[in-house]
Amino acid sequence: MGFCKLNMFFLLMFMIYFPVPVSGFSLQSCTVSINTAVCVKKRLTAIPKDVPPTVTGFDLSVNRLTRIQQSDFPPLPLLLFMDLNRNKISEIDPGAFRTLTSLRRLNLNNNKVIKLGERVFDGLNNLTVLRINYNQIKVLSSTSFQSLTKLEVLDISHNKLQKSADLELILHHMPQLQELVLRGNSLKAFNSWEITNRSLALHILDLTLNPLKDFKVTSDIFQNLTRLKLGNPKGNEQTIWDVKNHTFLSRVSNLDISGLIMTLDDMKSLLEAVTSSLTSLRMNSMKLNHSQLINMSCSLPTMFILQFQFNKLKNKIDSYFFKSCVHLTELDLANNYIEHIPENAFMTLKDLKVLILSNNKLSSVPNATRTLQNLIELDLSSNNIGSVTCMDFSNNVKLKELALKNNSIQTLSDCVFKNLLQLQVLRLQSNQLIQLNKAFEKNLPNLKRLYLNGNKLKKISAKEFAGLRSLQNLTLHQNQIKDLVEDSFVGLTNLTDINLQTNCLTMKALKTGAFNALINLRSLDLTSNHIKFEPLSHPPFSNLSRLERLFFMGQHLNGNQHLSINSLQGLNNLLYFNARKNHLTNLDNDTFTYTPKLEYLDIGSNDLKTLSSQLFAPIKNLKNLYIHRTALHSLDFFIEANLTKLEFLEGRHNQYSVITEKVIKSLPSLLFVDFTYISFSCDCDNVWFINWTRANKQTQVNDAYNYSCNYPDNFKGKKLLDFDITSCLPDKGFIHFASTTGVILFFLVISFTYHFMRSHLYYAYHLIWAWLFDSRYKNKQASHRYDAFISYNSNDEPWVIEQLLPRLEGEQGWRLCLHHRDFEPGRSIIDNITDAIYSSRKTICVISQRYLRSEWCSREVQTASFRLFDEQEDVLILIFLEDIPTYMLSPYHRMRKLLKKQTYLNWSRAADQPDVFWENLRKALQTGNKPDGEKLLLTVIETQ
Ligand SMILES: *[C@@H]1O[C@H](CO)[C@@H](O)[C@H](O)[C@H]1NC(C)=O
Ligand SMILES: *[C@@H]1O[C@H](CO)[C@@H](O)[C@H](O)[C@H]1NC(C)=O
Ligand SMILES: *[C@@H]1O[C@H](CO)[C@@H](O)[C@H](O)[C@H]1NC(C)=O
Ligand SMILES: *[C@@H]1O[C@H](CO)[C@@H](O)[C@H](O)[C@H]1NC(C)=O
Ligand SMILES: *[C@@H]1O[C@H](CO)[C@@H](O)[C@H](O)[C@H]1NC(C)=O
């Protein structure tokens, strides 16, 4: 059978190129991305073995692994990072990680480990970071950590460790440990003498959220400790502070005592121990007297940074609250329900540079901030501020960053920001702004980033932003902007990024030429508006020659979007274009003429049934293409598209069912391809693709092992890669034999070449013969002996004799040629058939399933059909005796090709109107052989 030969040819070619079985690039459950095997959320219960030995990262997070055994990991000599976060691991065998000799970082967070047994981490001599938080570890063994001599970071927080002696088992083996996180365990005491008496390298020690009753340090073990975290915001245990010598913590610069409960005396000696080194103090959720704490801590001469959150201050701040805090440069008072701050509360904070008042209950900008003339950053986010006045920031002339987001400000005025000549960042998002009232028309010459998203702006008036000559980023998304005018963005000559998604913009707003002022724009986001393109003499983006990224997803339109030919005119530096979800039904071949540098194109989730190769002619640099969910029936457009740089193709959710060699070969740079949710044809047509997926070393076929079959029926639901490709071969034994030894391979090549050439010679012979015959008869076409040659299977003979013959020969008077009646005895059958075809005006094929199985694939009919199909004359009439679903035709390649182009007569559907059927057949026999005439007629037939 001809079609099978072709596939066999590919298969054998493949076997010649890759004689030994090779493991490909597509993995069963994982993808490889930047040298990391990513197997996240795959419901894995065992560790995949097909990970290439070259990976440096292995991400197995969010799976169902329960146990790690010695033989589980293949040798991964280059692996540096492994993530086992969020599994159900409760058991780790001794030496389970032994094959991972280079591993540097291991994450075992969120598992169910109760006990770390003997030698669990053996072999991990190079590990520097181990995270094993949120487990239930209660028990450690003396040899659990013995290999981890190079460990620098151990995070074993949120477990059930109880004894400070356990810490000895940890620290004993880790001379280089710098960071030890023990948060959220059940440690009741920390006694240095139980742990060690040598000096530790530790820089960071986190003991928060332990019910510590004792903190005892009896020898100088913390020489290098700079960050210490104690305290238990959730508990109510009192901790006894017992540090024998005040010099023992003399390097600590960052101290967190959130929630720590102590006697005032202990607290004093704690702060004394760090008195010469402390720079940053965190005291959140304190249960002691707040103003006493502030007084004590602010007296430390080196302390500059104070965080004092979650202390329910409400109205407790009085004029003297911060009076001793003269050195502070940063004060964080977020999350305190603060409603009011007295006018002179910050008077003493002469050096304050950063003040954070977010997440409080302030209803206006507190007058107290006016005294802070050195302030550089002020955060008033998430309060109840309803308006801002011209006095509010008039003194804060050094301000560089001002955050007012998440308030309920409705309007601004032209003087609010008047004095903020240094301001670089202004956050006004998520307010109720309806108008900007010239707030930006003349002010803020140094502003670089302005956030106005999530407000209620309806229009941008002329020159609204004219003063912002340094502005680079402007966010205006999630407003209700409908109207723009020509001068809306005048002055924004340095703007590089503008976000306008989720507004009410239409083409009318764009036509004003508003964007023409944005000559430096690099990124424009117009997603989720109502913009419908139309051909324009001044296209909306014609001045944006620097634009690199255009986001244009999901326009809300009634009807279809159509990118007109000059929609993208002017964007000659565009690299990225995203037009996903736009109800695009087709793309003109000229769409990308103006964007020759395009590298990233997303036209997914549109209604594009076809794409043409010419569309891609102007964009030869394309690297990433997204065409998922586009209802494409074929990828053949790639063959001529010449996309030699394409690396990434997202093609999931489409209608094609066969991926051909030609398509893949036309994309020589392809590194990643995704055909998930394609209804594959699991037949010989995909043999090449199956082999390529398994074996190619360049392109990763995403999730290939889960691709499933939709055709033929008996394969439905099975996996594409499980398809038995040997069924596409005539002789399995022969192939097996052929692939085993080189000598046989040689014979295979010889015999195959002969085999292949012979069939070609055979076809060639008949082709030449047919051509000769054809040209001989061309001049005397009128002399056809018959009107039609009937090709049928002998099983269908009764129908031919009883129905067809009487109608066509008897009633309609045609001359028919039937093999049982009209063939010359003694001549070869092939000669007879060829002769019959050439001496008949038409050939009628009576098609049934049996016909397809025998006649259609017989060498004779194939030979004869060669001429019939590949020459332009339409001399073939197809009659279907029974309904044959299209997918069953899939192996009969030529037949399918033919049916795609033309319609045909269907007897099984003609049962109630046989006369119409015969009349249509008569018309079909009457027409000449010109293709156009035939098609016209066949259209008539289809309407029966
Ligand atoms: C891992 O550590 C061993 C010594 O324990 C050393 O010989 C080897 O070179 C290290 N490997 C890497 C990749 O650092
Ligand atoms: C403490 O740090 C110093 C300098 O970084 C280093 O030389 C010393 O070895 C460290 N101490 C310990 C016990 O590691
Ligand atoms: C504290 O330790 C230092 C040296 O680390 C020592 O000189 C000093 O005498 C000690 N003070 C007390 C009270 O033990
Ligand atoms: C803040 O100062 C203004 C005058 O600049 C005054 O009118 C207002 O009442 C003050 N607000 C509070 C809460 O003290
Ligand atoms: C400015 O916009 C660009 C592009 O959107 C973004 O990458 C960059 O982070 C933005 N800058 C800031 C500071 O937000």
Tokens of 732: 């399995």
Q: What is the mean pLDDT of residues 488-510?
A: 96
Mean pLDDT of the chain: 85
Distance 243 CA to ligand 3 centre (A): 12
Judge if the beta carbon of residue 893 lies within 6 A of ligand 5.
no
Contact 293, 279 (CB under 8 A): no
- β-strand 459-460 against 483-484: which pairing, if any? parallel
- C-alpha span between 801 and 821 (Å, rounded): 11
Q: What is the mean pLDDT of residues 46-55?
A: 90
Atom of ligand 2 nearest to the CA of 198: 13
* CATH topology for the 758-926 domain: Rossmann fold (3.40.50)
Peptide bond before residue 712 is cis, with ω within 30 degrees of 0: yes
Distance 393 CA to ligand 4 centre (A): 13
pLDDT greater at residue 882 or residue 575: 575
Judge if the beta carbon of residue 497 lies within 6 A of ligand 4.
no
Predicted confidence at residue 195, as pLDDT, reads 87
Q: What is the mean pLDDT of residues 681-710?
A: 90
**Does the pLDDT value for residue 793 go beyond 90?**
no
Q: Which of 395-409, 540-554, 854-868, 872-886 is the least confident region?
A: 854-868
**Does the pLDDT value for residue 805 go beyond 60?**
yes
Distance 172 CA to ligand 1 centre (A): 21
- β-strand 179-181 against 139-140: which pairing, if any? unpaired
Contact 341, 318 (CB under 8 A): no
**Does the pLDDT value for residue 384 go beyond 90?**
yes
Contact 396, 369 (CB under 8 A): yes
Distance 177 CA to ligand 2 centre (A): 11
**Does the pLDDT value for residue 361 go beyond 90?**
yes
- C-alpha span between 321 and 313 (Å, rounded): 11
Q: Which of 453-457, 463-467, 470-474, 817-821 is the least confident region?
A: 817-821
Predicted confidence at residue 931, as pLDDT, reads 44
**Does the pLDDT value for residue 743 go beyond 90?**
no
Q: What is the sign of the dihedral through the CA atoms of 813, 814, 817 and 818?
A: negative
Distance 679 CA to ligand 5 centre (A): 40
Which among 108-112, 703-707, 901-905 has the top mean pLDDT?
A: 108-112
Listed in sequence order, the residues at least 6 apart from 191 whose beta carbon sits closer than 8 Å to its beta carbon are 164, 214, 216, 218
Q: What is the mean pLDDT of residues 857-866?
A: 53
Q: Which ligand is nearest to the CA of 218?
A: 3
Contact 19, 742 (CB under 8 A): yes
pLDDT band at 712 (very low <50, low <70, confident <90, very high): confident
Predicted confidence at residue 885, as pLDDT, reads 67
Contact 749, 739 (CB under 8 A): no
Contact 868, 894 (CB under 8 A): no
pLDDT greater at residue 714 or residue 480: 480
- β-strand 36-38 against 31-33: which pairing, if any? antiparallel
- C-alpha span between 568 and 585 (Å, rounded): 18
Judge if the beta carbon of residue 523 lies within 6 A of ligand 5.
yes
Atom of ligand 3 nearest to the CA of 244: 14
Atom of ligand 4 nearest to the CA of 340: 13
pLDDT band at 11 (very low <50, low <70, confident <90, very high): very low
Whose C-alpha lies nearest to ligand 5, atom 2?
497
Q: Which of 51-60, 506-515, 533-542 is the least confident region?
A: 533-542
- The answer as to CATH 2.30.30.100 being correct for domain 1-187 is no
Question: pLDDT tens, 231-278?
Answer: 898 888 899 999 988 889 999 999 999 999 999 999 999 999 999 999
Distance 513 CA to ligand 5 centre (A): 24
Q: Which ligand is nearest to the CA of 102?
A: 1
**Would 1-187 and 758-926 be classified into the same CATH topology?**
no
Q: Which of 84-88, 131-135, 197-201, 614-618 is the least confident region?
A: 197-201
Predicted confidence at residue 734, as pLDDT, reads 54
* Closest CA relative to residue 497, chosen from 553, 551, 563: 551
Predicted confidence at residue 914, as pLDDT, reads 80
**Does the pLDDT value for residue 605 go beyond 60?**
yes
- C-alpha span between 652 and 629 (Å, rounded): 6
Q: What is the sign of the dihedral through the CA atoms of 765, 769, 770 and 772?
A: positive
DSSP-assigned states of every residue in 780-816: TGGG-SEEEEEE--GGGHHHIIIIIHIIIIIIS---E
pLDDT > 70: percent of the chain: 84
Judge if the beta carbon of residue 394 lies within 6 A of ligand 4.
no
Judge if the beta carbon of residue 494 lies within 6 A of ligand 5.
no
Q: What is the mean pLDDT of residues 748-765?
A: 53
Question: pLDDT tens, 556-569?
Answer: 988 888 888 788 99
**Does the pLDDT value for residue 454 go beyond 90?**
yes
Listed in sequence order, the residues at least 6 apart from 898 whose beta carbon sits closer than 8 Å to its beta carbon are 869, 876, 878
Predicted confidence at residue 747, as pLDDT, reads 52
Predicted confidence at residue 803, as pLDDT, reads 82
Tokens of 648: 């990434």
**Does the pLDDT value for residue 462 go beyond 70?**
yes
Q: Which of 245-259, 534-548, 750-764, 888-902 is the least confident region?
A: 750-764
- C-alpha span between 21 and 779 (Å, rounded): 57
Q: What is the mean pLDDT of residues 444-449?
A: 97
Predicted confidence at residue 197, as pLDDT, reads 80
- C-alpha span between 901 and 244 (Å, rounded): 94
**Does the pLDDT value for residue 754 go beyond 70?**
no
Q: What is the mean pLDDT of residues 425-429?
A: 98
Q: What is the mean pLDDT of residues 658-662?
A: 94
Distance 548 CA to ligand 5 centre (A): 13
Superfamily of domain 533-541+556-570+580-723: Ribonuclease Inhibitor (3.80.10.10)
Question: pLDDT tens, 865-917?
Answer: 555 554 555 677 778 888 776 666 655 655 656 665 555 778 777 767 788 78
**Domain regions of the chain by residue span:** 1-187, 533-541+556-570+580-723, 758-926
**Does the pLDDT value for residue 761 go beyond 50?**
no
Distance 245 CA to ligand 3 centre (A): 6
Q: Which ligand is nearest to the CA of 368?
A: 4
Whose C-alpha lies nearest to ligand 5, atom 9?
473
**Does the pLDDT value for residue 654 go beyond 50?**
yes
Contact 499, 476 (CB under 8 A): yes
Q: What is the mean pLDDT of residues 482-492?
A: 95
Q: How far is CA 152 from the centre of its chain?
A: 34
Can you give the pTM of this predicted structure?
A: 0.74
Predicted confidence at residue 764, as pLDDT, reads 47
* Best mutation site among 202, 224, 226, 250 for ligand 2 pocket (most ligand atoms within 8 Å of CB): 224
Q: Which ligand is nearest to the CA of 250?
A: 3
Distance 497 CA to ligand 5 centre (A): 7
Q: Which ligand is nearest to the CA of 475?
A: 5
Distance 251 CA to ligand 3 centre (A): 15
Q: Which ligand is nearest to the CA of 79?
A: 1
**Does the pLDDT value for residue 782 go beyond 60?**
no
Predicted confidence at residue 428, as pLDDT, reads 98
pLDDT > 90: percent of the chain: 63
Q: What is the mean pLDDT of residues 594-605?
A: 96
- C-alpha span between 415 and 444 (Å, rounded): 11
Predicted confidence at residue 20, as pLDDT, reads 29
**Does the pLDDT value for residue 631 go beyond 80?**
yes
**Does the pLDDT value for residue 733 go beyond 80?**
no
Whose C-alpha lies nearest to ligand 5, atom 3?
497
**Does the pLDDT value for residue 182 go beyond 60?**
yes
- C-alpha span between 496 and 379 (Å, rounded): 25
Q: Which amino acid is at 440?
A: F
Number of Cβ atoms within 10 Å of the Cβ of 758: 10
Q: What is the mean pLDDT of residues 143-148?
A: 92
Question: pLDDT tens, 19-42?
Answer: 223 345 677 788 888 889 999 999
